[in-house]
Structure 1
Amino acid sequence: MRLPVNRFAALTLTTLLIATGAHAGDKRAAVITPTSGPAADYPMVLGDPFVVDGVTYTPQDRLNFDQVGYAGVGGGTGISIAHRTLPMPSYAEVTSLDSGRTILVRVTRRGPMDGPNIVDLSPDAATQLGVTASRTAIRIRRVNPPEAERAALREGRAAPLRMDTPQSLVAVLRRKLDPAAAPILLPLPKAIGAAVTPPAPVNPPVPTSPRVSTPKAAHVAAAPKPAPVQGAAPPQKAPPAAKATGSLVVQIGAFSSEARSNEIAHKLGAGVAPVGKLFRVRMGPFTSRGQAEAALAKAKAAGYSEARIQTAS
């Protein structure tokens, strides 16, 4: 006699086996890994230490990670990179120390697994950064971008370009590649260079003859204009004042803690202004775009990647 089959019980048993493992002694659990959405960024994976060319690398979850070195072009898809110690996935800004161009990338794999480079760029990341050489000087800095930019990178699309790093800061970063090397002098951007007045050239003194002795009154009468003093630079006409285009400020951020706001302002030479229940930290105001961009570079170099140039209000 055939016994009735309880199909519901069989389905329940199958589901239980999938969730707990096919064998009672198997402790592995079936995990469905999301492939899209914010949940795709978690959990972040570090992994065990490993050795490359005799050097041991230990992956770490460091929020203030900032490094200069060289990048090559490797595998990977989308705007992504391989790095030896940053969590996977995580996000970073990569700056070309040749052009100053900065892009947002997603760390998706370990590498490079040989050679002196610190980063392997995916082909798409190299294209967006404007890299054509097999070895390019770069700066990599871990950041926490907004969800819209994370979503673009997860879907294989590029996030908007960051503001180019000023050439004055690029020169400082390049010197960190090899502190013993001679300083690399790069031209300043026009906006910044215009705010700097070069020293007036000093003419070499012209020897005067001791036999010439002209009374002051006779000298004034003989010449309609006063003669220039020998050995001194000719007077320079002041440049016309620039037309006012509105004051600019660099907003570092708005914070709920007044003590924290004052600490940040003291560090950057900024000011603090209460806005509702928040305290706004700003640098400036500045009269030129060049001055504001220099202040913005200072703020970003200090770790405040969300700093922005705004019109003072």
Structure 2
Amino acid sequence: MRTGLLLLCLLMLQGCGTLERADGPPPGHVDASNVPDAVPRAEPRSRSGNPDSYVVFGQRYYPLQDRRGFVEKGVASWYGRKFHGKLTSSGEPYHMLKMTAAHKTLPLPSYVRVTNLKNGRSIVVRVNDRGPFAHGRIIDLSYAAASKLDMLKHGTAPVEIRVIDPSPPATAAAPTSTVSRSQPLPAPSTEITAASTTILTSEAATEPGLWLQIGAYSSQANADKMEHRLRDAGLRTRIIAPSSNDTDALFRVQVGPLNGDSGILTARAILKELGLHPTGRPVDDTRP
């Protein structure tokens, strides 16, 4: 037990960027505005990062057992390149281009909506780390999350955080022509038919723009596995199912919509971290 608590403390001190430090953005120009918000979904508590209590700098903290209805106002900060790739308190590697955050007491993982009280900007992040431990701060955001709240320049911002309870999977029967799939978002699954092609939609599937194909699978189960992996990485996805006229009968997994060259570069950077290197060119849905 003592060894486990020691490991937790080491992970918190290593992975969380809430201590005073020299940190910075990713190398080169990265347009994080194209990184999609975290998609709330029901998840079990992580095996690490959820002790009954823990101590940092002589202060004892008690992680919550029930997150429902949690709302908090205070100061947010962010952490970036210095901690990229290091383990968070939940045991997951920190990725500065994902929509994640650190909180001292929320169960890991949790999903929260963070609103910048200065400019009204709002995002959804997945809390998978412990912190911040600097005085007066309530949440530590990834570089991508801080960028979308427009708080990189000042380093901190007054925010409100509000827990999001993931909706239960949809149980209603799907239309005959649509393969039944449960969605973690409140919006129900829909079917879009164009040129005899069925699109199994995510929340982004109906949006026009550039879509990058990641793979094509003869089994829908394998396509679903890839889609879940991509969504866990913070990418928006869709699966295009084969129509009765298709000879190859493949389920095509795509990510998007991507906003121009910067969106494509951001998506490829995330895909590279997953060991995926799609070689095809994005398809433009805005063209007839």
As a proportion of its length, which structure holds more strand? Answer: 2
Greater helix content? 1
Into which bin does the TM-score normalised by the smaller protein fall? Answer: 0.3 to 0.5
Q: Which has the higher contact order (CA 8 A, sep 6+)?
A: 2
Give the TM-score taking structure 2 as reference length. 0.38
Between structure 1 and structure 2, the one with the greater Rg is 1
